[in-house]
Amino acid sequence: MEGGFGSEFGGRGSGKLDPGLIMEQVKVQIAVANAQELLQRMTDKCFRKCIGKPGSSLDNSEQKCIAMCMDRYMDAWNTVSRAYNSRLQRERANM
């Protein structure tokens, strides 16, 4: 059966599932979900901060505010991510 469970989740035509491939697919799906959540949160926060009266276009000050807000949000996200990953590595090393 083309496109069935086995082909979606690592089947090799023999009906067996490849756990390694499944884990990689899950990791990719989690990364995509995280990226979507980051983009949604950033959009929501920056829109609320920068757009006073929604209209058909953004004026120059709104464009600058959105760009700066997104830059700051990404900088903060990256700083937190690096600190979190560093802490995880330290904790794993101490186990």
Amino acid at 31: A
CATH of domain 20-94: 1.10.287.810
The torsion angles phi and psi of 51, rounded to 5 degrees, stand at -105, 105
- Give dist(CA 78, CA 74) in Å, integer: 6
- pLDDT tens per residue across span 54-93: 889 999 999 999 999 999 999 999 999 999 999 999 998 9
pTM higher than 0.85: no
